[in-house]
């Protein structure tokens, strides 16, 4: 076959062989229409090309690639039939598969796997939105691409091999109840011979993330045993194998591996938002960690810059800044004013942290506890009353402090906030927004609180780890005022209804119905809202 021309392409070398055919690297013929210079050409095996079923499956693979257009999915170029040879050309990727990388490296850093998942989720969302379920997500179908100009930069991933993909609306070409896919990466519903859904791809993606992070798949064994384990078996959490894995990323992986599809993320878009949120959070933490610290001055000495030089540079910069300011700024930048300000600051700090007596601690704590804002109560306890209890256990105000502590505990219970959670791990995203909504409600801004709670429910309703906060948000919304007194919410509701109508106009009635079902469920106790929803 080497040297054969198919369409615009001349076959150069074989790069892969599978059950349905062979893939060749090819170059564009000299007299062909300009375009990409390289391609991967897949040819249906000769012994299968005469069977109608395999011809249909091959043509279906071509049809699937033709309707997908995403930077993370290999691009389709052209197809044809030469004699009895069925073939198509697609984007050529000069890189290793993640299966090859796993065999070489054992396992990848979880940060690298997070980046891979962050790239893949939108590609799966694109495929699912176009009615395509891949059904065979595994490391060998994920290709690693690196920029030639920056070989040490972050890798890009390409999703390939839609050979056994299914179209939501297409007739099945497989035997009913048959199992198709790779046993190690099959979803429980595939293992049971049940119909696949977009959440089946998410389960397989979860196994990929688990395997790349830990170096092994969650279940191992013979094919029949694997089918049983996918349906009923329990796996070791990734942290038992990789203790350094981020807890939130581990939770995402485990959520993808839920047996019941309903407990997995609702779709790849929901998954992407979780991954993107974690990615941004980690970036913020990394940026904070890189901020200058007190040790920078010490480091400057080690690098040959003495304290005197360090201070002289700072003074010179300050004097230069003085000359650039106006009269008022120059006054406050005057050395005498700066020195006086410095000693005032030192005095204030010293007074603040000077060992307090029991009476002053109680007096300040009682003052804050008299505030209507529960945030002041938290400050009263942490800064004054708790030190009072710890340092002076026999103080004269134990009864009053006991009453204050009960008041604070009741406030925490009402807000459904666990004060110990923050000290053990980063606060959950949904919890952060839930508490923000409560702060707005305490300040009397019910419209803003309601907006945040509704958005929280929309974004995290399908995330098991956030269910507690979604449930609390729903409880808070039960106390919301009627729609007619909340114009912001009315506008948000109308925008959502308009979105459903637009989806219907675009030929996506199921998506529109899902939105309407959700609205009716959310606003079933709100007569004004139900009237607005019912008019559409």
* Total Cβ atoms within 10 A of residue 104: 8
Cα separation, 26 vs 9, in Å, equals: 6
Q: Please answer whether residues 388 and 404 qualify as being in contact, where contact means their C-beta atoms are separated by less than 8 angstroms.
A: no
Number of continuous H segments (helices) and E segments (strands) in the chain: 24, 10
Cα separation, 476 vs 478, in Å, equals: 5
User: How large is the greatest C-alpha to C-alpha distance in the chain, in angstroms?
Assistant: 100
Provide CB contacts within 8 A for 193, sequence distance 6+: 177, 178, 179
Strands 85-90 and 5-6: unpaired
Q: Which of 172, 201, 349 is nearest to 267 (CA)?
A: 201
Q: How far is CA 500 from CA 489, 497, 512, 521, in A?
A: 17, 5, 4, 15
Burial class for 118, CB neighbours closer than 10 Å (0-12, 13-18, 19+) = middle
DSSP secondary structure string for all residues of 28-89: E-TTSPSS-SEEEEEEE-TTTTT-HHHHHHHHHHHHHHHT---TTBPPEEEEEEETTEEEEE
Cα separation, 1 vs 138, in Å, equals: 29
Query: Beta strands of 242-368 (E only): which ranges?
Result: none
Residue 425 DSSP SS3:
coil
Cα separation, 163 vs 141, in Å, equals: 11
Active site residues: 136
Provide CB contacts within 8 A for 229, sequence distance 6+: 219, 221
Tokens of 510: 């199921």
Q: 167 has which bridge partners?
A: 132
Cα separation, 375 vs 476, in Å, equals: 19
Q: Please answer whether residues 121 and 199 qualify as being in contact, where contact means their C-beta atoms are separated by less than 8 angstroms.
A: no
Cα separation, 171 vs 168, in Å, equals: 9
Q: Please answer whether residues 404 and 381 qualify as being in contact, where contact means their C-beta atoms are separated by less than 8 angstroms.
A: yes
Cα separation, 302 vs 388, in Å, equals: 43
* Total Cβ atoms within 10 A of residue 129: 15
Residue 258 DSSP SS3:
coil
Q: Please answer whether residues 362 and 384 qualify as being in contact, where contact means their C-beta atoms are separated by less than 8 angstroms.
A: yes
Burial class for 205, CB neighbours closer than 10 Å (0-12, 13-18, 19+) = buried
Q: What is the DSSP letter of 371?
A: S
């Amino acid at each position: 076959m080497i040297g054969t021309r198919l369409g615009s392409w001349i076959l150069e070398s074989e790069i892969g062989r599978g059950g349905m055919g062979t893939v060749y690297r090819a170059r564009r013929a000299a007299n062909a229409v300009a375009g990409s210079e390289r391609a991967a050409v897949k040819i249906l095996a000769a012994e299968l090309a005469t069977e109608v079923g395999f011809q249909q499956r091959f043509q279906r693979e071509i049809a699937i690639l033709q309707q997908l257009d995403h930077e993370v999915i290999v691009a389709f170029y052209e197809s044809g039939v030469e004699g009895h040879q069925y073939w198509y050309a697609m984007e050529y990727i000069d890189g290793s598969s993640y299966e090859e990388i796993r065999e070489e490296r054992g396992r990848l850093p979880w940060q690298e796997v997070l980046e891979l998942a962050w790239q893949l989720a939108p590609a799966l969302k694109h495929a699912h939105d176009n009615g395509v379920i891949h059904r065979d997500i595994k490391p060998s179908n994920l290709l690693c691409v690196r920029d030639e100009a920056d070989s040490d930069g972050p890798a890009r991933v390409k999703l390939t091999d839609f050979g056994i993909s299914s179209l939501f609306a297409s007739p099945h070409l497989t035997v009913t109840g048959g199992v198709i896919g790779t046993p190690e990466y099959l979803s429980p519903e595939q293992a049971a011979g049940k119909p696949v859904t977009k959440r089946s791809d998410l389960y397989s993606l979860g196994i990929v993330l688990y395997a790349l992070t830990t170096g092994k798949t969650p279940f191992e064994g013979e094919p029949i045993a694997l089918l049983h384990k996918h349906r009923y078996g329990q796996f070791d959490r990734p942290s038992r194998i990789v203790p350094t894995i981020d807890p939130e990323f581990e939770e995402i992986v485990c959520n993808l591996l839920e047996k019941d599809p309903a407990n997995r993320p609702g779709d790849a878009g929901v998954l992407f938002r979780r991954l993107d949120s974690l990615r941004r959070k980690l970036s913020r933490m990394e940026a904070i960690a890189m901020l200058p610290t007190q040790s920078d001055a010490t480091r400057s000495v080690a690098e040959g810059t003495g304290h005197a030089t360090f201070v002289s540079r700072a003074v010179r910069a300050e004097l230069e800044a003085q000359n650039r300011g106006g009269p008022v700024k120059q006054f406050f930048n005057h050395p005498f004013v700066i020195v006086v300000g410095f000693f005032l600051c030192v005095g204030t700090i010293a007074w603040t942290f000077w060992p307090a007596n029991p009476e002053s601690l109680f007096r300040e704590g009682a003052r804050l506890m008299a505030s209507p804002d529960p945030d002041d109560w938290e400050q009263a306890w942490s800064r004054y009353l708790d030190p009072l209890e710890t340092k002076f256990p026999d103080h004269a105000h134990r009864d009053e402090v006991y009453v204050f502590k009960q008041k604070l505990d009741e406030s925490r219970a009402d807000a459904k906030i666990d004060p110990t959670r923050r000290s053990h791990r980063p606060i959950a995203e949904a919890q952060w927004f839930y508490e923000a909504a409560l702060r707005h409600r305490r300040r009397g801004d019910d419209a803003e609180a309601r907006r945040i709670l509704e958005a929280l429910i929309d974004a995290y309703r399908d995330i098991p780890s956030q269910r507690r906060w979604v449930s609390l948000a729903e409880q808070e919304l039960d106390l919301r005022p009627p729609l007619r007194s909340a114009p912001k919410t009315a506008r948000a509701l109308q925008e959502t209804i308009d979105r459903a109508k637009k989806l219907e106009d675009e030929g996506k009635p199921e998506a529109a119905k899902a939105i309407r079902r959700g609205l009716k469920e959310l606003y079933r106790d709100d007569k004004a809202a139900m009237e607005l929803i019912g008019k559409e």
